[in-house]
Amino acid sequence: MKDSFFGDLHGQGRDAVEFYTEKKVVVERWMDRV
């Protein structure tokens, strides 16, 4: 499980970073509303 996760992360590093950044922005906006 762990190895396959890191394998996917390595293969899709750029997508993972974009997904993480997008998620972080959404959380920050949600925190501002609350």
Q: Determine the Cα angle at 11 with ends 10 and 15, to 5°.
A: 90
Nearest by Cα to 9 from 26, 23, 19, 28: 19
Instruction: Write out pLDDT tens, residues 3-17.
Output: 555 555 555 667 777
Distance (Å) of CA 22 to CA 1, 5, 8, 16, 17: 25, 20, 19, 10, 8
- pLDDT band, residue 2 (cuts 50/70/90): low
DSSP-assigned states of every residue in the chain: -HHHHHHHHHHTHHHHHHHHHHHHHHHHHHHHH-
**pLDDT value, residue 34:** 83
